[in-house]
């Protein structure tokens, strides 16, 4: 298993990223029920991964981010990260676990 900062170019792993912040207990609101996970801020990307299903994850390089804002959701205030349409136009909504009842 590789760290979330490993970037692979052919057979060489180049590790130039560092974790700036790690927040446990963050809900991804991409589905109606939400998924509990961990949110990382690195010097090159935002990363969220589910705690129960390691393969359910989101990794967004800063260069692909179109906007970051706080918005009201049915669970309270959510951090919303939207990517440029050229990179898929993905929208990630997250809230800390203490906000979701």
pLDDT, tens digit only, all 101 positions of the chain: 455 565 444 444 445 678 899 999 998 887 667 788 999 999 899 988 899 987 888 888 999 999 999 988 887 888 888 888 887 666 666 666 665 54
Token pair in block for residue 9: 């170019």
Handedness of CA 101, 91, 50, 5 (dihedral sign): negative
Q: What pLDDT is recorded for position 90?
A: 65
Q: What pLDDT is recorded for position 79?
A: 87
Q: What pLDDT is recorded for position 76?
A: 82
Q: End-to-end distance of the chain based on CA atoms, in angstroms?
A: 34
What CATH number does residue 87 fall under? 2.30.29.30
Give the global pTM. Answer: 0.73
Residue 1 lies inside a defined structural domain of this protein: no
- Chain-centre distance of CA 7, in angstroms? 17
Structural domain span for residue 76: 6-99
Residue 91 lies inside a defined structural domain of this protein: yes
Residue 65 lies inside a defined structural domain of this protein: yes
Residue 23 lies inside a defined structural domain of this protein: yes
- Chain-centre distance of CA 30, in angstroms? 11
Residue 81 lies inside a defined structural domain of this protein: yes
Question: Which run of H or of E encompasses 50?
Answer: strand 45-50
Q: Please count the structural domains in the chain.
A: 1
């Amino acid at each position: 298993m590789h760290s979330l900062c490993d970037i692979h170019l052919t057979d060489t792993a180049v590790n130039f990223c560092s974790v700036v912040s790690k927040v446990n207990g963050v809900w991804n609101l991409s589905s109606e029920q939400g998924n509990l996970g961990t949110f990382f801020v690195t010097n090159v990307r935002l990363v969220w991964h589910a705690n129960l299903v390691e393969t359910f994850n989101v990794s967004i390089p800063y260069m692909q981010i179109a906007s970051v804002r706080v918005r009201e959701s049915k669970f309270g205030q959510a951090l919303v990260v939207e990517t440029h349409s050229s990179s898929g136009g993905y929208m990630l909504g997250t809230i800390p676990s203490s906000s979701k009842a």
